[in-house]
Amino acid sequence: MFTGTIWLGIGVNTLMLASMYIMAALGFAFIFNMLGAINLAHGNIYMIGAFIAYAICYYTGLPNWLSILIAALITAAFGLLLERFAIRPFKDDFSRIVMVGVALMFIFQTSATLFTGTKTLSIPLLAEGTVRIGALGISNQKIIMFVIAVVILAIVLFITNKTKLGREMKAVSQDRLGAALQGIPINRVAAIVCAIGCGIATIAGGLMGSYQSLSSGMGDTITLRILMLVMMAGAGSMNGIIVTGLIMGFLDAFFPVLLSGSLATTVTLFVVIVILLIRPKGFFGHEM
């Protein structure tokens, strides 16, 4: 029933969505793996980052790629504050970290709603035009998004696997107390990681905001995706989110072709729930 063209389209969308989801989820996953703390505000940093990028682009007239980059630096600086004031004091207390996360989430959403008003906002496209492969047209925007994502993920994978910071992150996520006894400054590592995560999430938000339009609801959507992706990967798995990111991307690219709007989301949620029931600790995770 599916022709080659449709499968190719699904494949392209899978790669594009998966790369965005993984970029948005990195900061959340790092903090969750290292400290066992869930930062519910992270998905909304993706959203607020896109709004900051729009504001810079609109009010100063800078080119769109530069404004996304500046927005990423701003949210990275904000990430340092976030780690210091919203995660570090509460990292062992589930209820308080959820409270702070939800409060920040509502604050970001309300700010975004106030900023948007009734307008439809959108960052200008990074690239015009399409590339044709057979009967399928792939917009240059999608290709650029994917390339940027691959470059950033390669850098992040290099950092986590080859550098001192990456080894420190791994040590902390394996055993926090042991890492502290070996002289690893846990708080500093967590702050750097949170800043990097927020910056990358903002780049993802900016790219997505130039592909689609901006809305305050995009924070909620991505929060749900991030949670599903990280829970499927499981706690303690740094590279697993790339696999589950591809799964999430495929589910979100495949079902909308078959089914209408909310039914597609329903089926996606169902598949994720079933996966989590079969693998209660995620694909690569361990007991919390």
Partner 1 sequence: MKKNSKLLSILPYAVILVCFLIIPTSIDKMFWYAAFISILAKMIASVGLRMVSLGGDMSFAMGAFMGLGAYGAAIMVTKWSFPFWAAIILAAVFAAIVAVLTGIPFARLRSIYYCMTTMFLGIFLIYIFQSFDWTGANTGIKQIPKLFGGKPAINYWYFLALAVVCIFCMWRFEKSRIGNTLKAIAQSHEVAASMGVNERFYRLMAIGVAAFFCGVAGASYALYYGSVVGSTYGMTLDLWIIMFFMVGGKDDFFGPIIGAALLGVVNEGSRTFGSYAPFLACAVLLLVAYLLPGGLASIPRTIKKAIDDKKMKQVDISAFSSGSDGKEA
Of residues 143-202, those binding partner 1 (CB under 8 A): none
CB of 280 to partner 1, least distance (A): 5
- Single-letter amino acid code for the residue at 129: G
For residue 114, the minimal CB distance to partner 1 (Å) is 6
Q: Considering the rule CB under 8 A, would residue 7 count as an interface residue with partner 1? A: no
Q: How many helices (H) and strands (E) does the chain have?
A: 11, 2
Phi, psi of 242 (to 5 degrees): -70, -40
77 is a site residue for partner 1 (CB under 8 A)? no
Stretch 9-48 residues interacting with partner 1 (CB under 8 A): 36, 38
Q: Tell whether residue 114 is a contact of partner 1 (CB under 8 A).
A: yes
Options 45-53, 153-161, 238-246, 266-274: segment touching partner 1 (CB under 8 A) = 266-274
Binding of partner 1 by 118 (CB under 8 A): no
Q: For partner 1, which is the closer residue by CB, 151 or 273? A: 273
With CB under 8 A as the contact rule, the residue among 77, 154, 155, 263 that binds partner 1 is 263
Please identify, among the stretches 16-24, 194-202, 243-251, 274-282, the one whose residues bind partner 1 according to the rule CB under 8 A.
Answer: 274-282
CA distances to 49, 152, 184 from 146, rounded to whole Å, are 19, 10, 35
Residues 90, 211, 250, 255: which binds partner 1 (CB under 8 A)? 90
Cβ-based neighbours of 138, under 8 Å, separated by 6 or more: 12, 130, 131, 132
Q: Binding pattern to partner 1, positions 243-262, x when CB under 8 A?
A: -----------------xxx
Estimate to the nearest angstrom the gap between the alpha carbon of 243 and the chain centroid: 14
121 binds partner 1 (CB under 8 A): no
Tokens matching residue 276: 């989590």
Q: What is the helix (H) or strand (E) element at residue 132, kind and residue range?
A: strand 130-133
Query: How far apart (Å, rounded) are the C-alpha atoms in residues 214 and 124?
Result: 11
Rule CB under 8 A: say whether 286 interacts with partner 1: no
Query: Phi first, then psi: what are they for 263, rounded to 5°?
Result: -65, -35
As measured in angstroms, the least distance from the Cβ of 220 to partner 1 is 6
Please count the other Cβ atoms lying within 10 Å of the Cβ belonging to residue 152. Answer: 18
- What separation in angstroms does the CA of 244 have from each of 172, 257, 278? 22, 20, 15
Place of tokens 């495929």: 250
Q: Which residues form the interface with partner 1 (CB under 8 A)?
A: 36, 38, 89-90, 93-96, 98-100, 102-107, 109-110, 113-114, 220, 224, 227-228, 231, 235, 260-263, 265-266, 269-270, 272-273, 276-277, 280-282, 287-288
